[in-house]
Amino acid sequence: MSTKLNIKKGDTVKVIAGDSKGKQGKVLEVDTEKLYAIVEGVNLMSKNTKPNAKNTQGGIVKKEAGIHISNLMVIDNTGKPTRVGRKVDAKTNKSVRFSKKSGEVIK
């Protein structure tokens, strides 16, 4: 069962808790089942890899790990972290996300 989330792939988010607190990045992937997101440059982990066709040398590779959605805040068009609400757009009659701080619609 997946729920509607306030964070989507492509959003710019700020980490508000954990080891990566204060960092910003773009959401690369969202797991709606586990409520985790993978954010570019945030929550990096080291992974040992064997040599293969793509990486002939092998060795240690830095890779982003998932971070829980509750530890992320969307950055709105003004560049500040904000809470996200939903409302029905008058023109299109569709549900849209909006910034609770500025009231603007988030793309």
Domain boundaries, the chain: 12-78
CATH fold, domain 12-78, is SH3 type barrels. (2.30.30)
The model's confidence at residue 55, banded by pLDDT at 50, 70 and 90, is confident
Instruction: Report the alpha-carbon distance of residue 104 to residue 97 in Å, rounded.
Output: 9
| % pLDDT > 70, the chain | 97
Write the single-letter amino acid at 7.
I
Q: Looking at the whole model, is its pTM more than 0.85?
A: no
Query: What pLDDT is attached to residue 2?
Result: 56
| Element containing residue 72 per DSSP (H, E) | strand 72-75
Write the single-letter amino acid at 55.
N
Closest among 76, 62, 69 to 29, alpha carbons compared: 69
Residue 104, pLDDT > 70, answer yes
Per-residue CA distances from 104 to 12, 82, 101 (Å): 15, 11, 8
- What six digits make up the tokens of 78? 């003004």
Residue 17, pLDDT > 80, answer yes
Closest among 42, 89, 87 to 68, alpha carbons compared: 42
Task: Say how many CA atoms lie within 13 Å of 2 toward its Cβ.
Answer: 8
